[in-house]
Amino acid sequence: MSNGFKDQVALITGAASGIGRATALHLAKEEVKIVVSDLNEQGGLETVQMVKEAGSDAVFIAADVADEKSVQQLFSGALHHFGKIDIGINNAGIGGAWAPTAQYNKAEFDKVIAINQTGVFLCMQAEINQMLKQGRGAIVNVSSIAGLRGLPNSVAYTASKHAVIGMTKTSALEYAKSNIRINAVCPVFTRTPMVESMFQIDPAYEEKLVKNIPMRRYGNTDDIAQAIVWLCSPLNSFFTGQALALDGGMTA
């Protein structure tokens, strides 16, 4: 059974690895054309090649999501190449420093907010403006389980991911009548390069945290990517404004 994706175009930020790459590959199997964006050119070009090997088309456009001009150039390039944007997946993000609030560095805080929060805002704004012209669209913002609860020693990351959910819900209400669906996913720690680097710093935390997940395992990138694909599906036309926890039962 077709999911109705054929000939659609998806723009994915943070697509050089991890959740972004996995989502690109799952959408490619549905014959979705992919705009791969990241600051990591080598990884981005590798994703493009993998998408093509999966049977779809893709282009890589480097962009810094925290920079308004860079985002404008990203969308200009995407539209020049494919002519439209049906799906926006705002996935680019960083973890930031690991420190208690009283000792958290202001410059580090600003950096995390710029990428994780302002970056989502800028990309979502550009996506919505294009989708209004097209008369429809689907957007998925990648938040985190830290957007639904507190995460000690990670004040900037937690604040940014709460903000992503707030922006998602507000924008979903604003554009529901315009046939633009906007949702968020909230993964628990997922086996991505960013999370693996954090676990290397504190291996004991990896073992401690998994005990709080009822399924007793971390998510993998395919777990998250398949949920994102479901949220984007044209057959899923009545689902909007939600923050979907992908956490192995942690928030049940």
Strand order in the sheet with 33-38: 58-62, 33-38, 9-13, 87-90, 137-142, 180-187, 243-246
Mean pLDDT value of segment 44-48: 99
Given the residues 157, 175, 205, 218, select the one marked as catalytic: 157
Respond yes or no: is residue 157 known to be catalytic. yes
**Highest mean pLDDT (candidates 1-15, 131-145, 217-231):** 131-145
Could you tell me the pLDDT band of residue 199, with boundaries at 50, 70 and 90?
A: low
- Buried-state track 104-135, b at ≥16 Cβ within 10 A, e below 16: beeeebebbbbbbbbbbbbbbebbbebbeeee
Q: Which CATH superfamily is domain 9-192+220-243 in?
A: NAD(P)-binding Rossmann-like Domain (3.40.50.720)
- Here the tokens at position 224 are 């998250």
Could you tell me the pLDDT band of residue 195, with boundaries at 50, 70 and 90?
A: low
Read off the pLDDT of residues 85-144 as tens digits, 9 standing for 90 and up. 999 999 999 999 999 999 999 999 999 999 999 999 999 999 999 999 999 999 999 999
Bridge partners (DSSP) listed for residue 174: none
Q: pTM for the complete prediction?
A: 0.94
Whether the predicted pLDDT of 46 surpasses 70: yes
Cα(51)–Cα(34) distance, integer angstroms: 8
In the chain, where the domains are located: 9-192+220-243
Whether the predicted pLDDT of 211 surpasses 90: no
Task: Give backbone dihedrals phi and psi of 45, rounded to 5 degrees, phi first.
Answer: -65, -35
